[in-house]
Structure 1
């Protein structure tokens, strides 16, 4: 079970994803107060989240419409998910994707082995 800082990190990620979804799907202009109300956060938290997302180019401020919009990095993410996945070599036919230089080999999730995710 998640505890303490791990739970806080998961909740922060959830709120960040909710903020990105709200900005991507909202057709109306929302103030920071309105965003905070919709996400059940305070204005300061929303502002910090927006500034962080803006520095990573996940959102950008549109001066004309006076709203935050998805940024260049978010658009690149979306494009990369639309591309077909590279085909993997047949089983036993040389190196696997996880064995490529510089690629991270994911570790099995310990929570699955212990039944903590049930």
Structure 2
């Protein structure tokens, strides 16, 4: 299954420079890296990144993360993917801009 991570440009640049990251400030505070499914990522963007431009959307394959990825209840009891190890640049299948449009973030075509 594809899962998604939204990073601000400096967080993405740090991951590219270092090769791995413990995540964004919220990830550091919680002790794991937060991800969203295709069905959850739009709400995540609206709730946590409202009005922010210059974001990057990362795509990963959940199966490649092994036992370090756990599905845990969060917002509204939904199960969210949480990674309990550093995120490695090699984990990422694709990355692309997540621009801010007039009605919120403009997600790629085909993303639920």
Q: Which TM-score applies when normalising by structure 1?
A: 0.26
Q: Name the structure with the higher strand share.
A: 2
- Tell me which protein shows more helix as a share of its residues: 1
Larger RCO of the pair (alpha carbons < 8 Å, separation 6+): 2
TM-score of the superposed pair, with normalisation by structure 2: 0.27
